[in-house]
Amino acid sequence: MIETVLTLVIAIVIAVALWFFLKNVTKLIINSVVGIIMLLAFNFFNIFGMGDIPLSIASILICALGGIPGFVVLLLLNVVGITV
């Protein structure tokens, strides 16, 4: 009896966790796409008259995983003179 109740509780916890994760997936995908578009637009239009941010696997992953905040971090690192 205890095993059945414990199994149901674990199943409910997993279902709730999946619900919250899947609810936020759309926001995460949009944020990632916007971050990559901002990186490409910054390099294409040469905004602020600064040099380009090098398009490496690391910089693309930072923008893909971090989205807009990831792009801002890359921009600040570029201003300081650190390239990824």
77-83, Cβ contacts within 8 angstroms, sequence gap of 24 or more: 78/50, 78/51, 78/53, 79/50, 83/53, 83/54
- Is the predicted pLDDT of residue 79 greater than 80, yes or no? yes
| Full domain range(s) for residue 75 | 2-80
DSSP letter at 46?
A: T
Task: Round to whole Å and give the CA distance between 20 and 42.
Answer: 33
Mean pLDDT of 40-47: 85
| Confidence category of residue 57, pLDDT binned at 50, 70, 90 | very high
| Confidence category of residue 54, pLDDT binned at 50, 70, 90 | confident
- Is the predicted pLDDT of residue 48 greater than 80, yes or no? no
6/70: higher pLDDT: 70
| Confidence category of residue 70, pLDDT binned at 50, 70, 90 | very high
Q: Report the number of distinct structural domains present in the chain.
A: 1
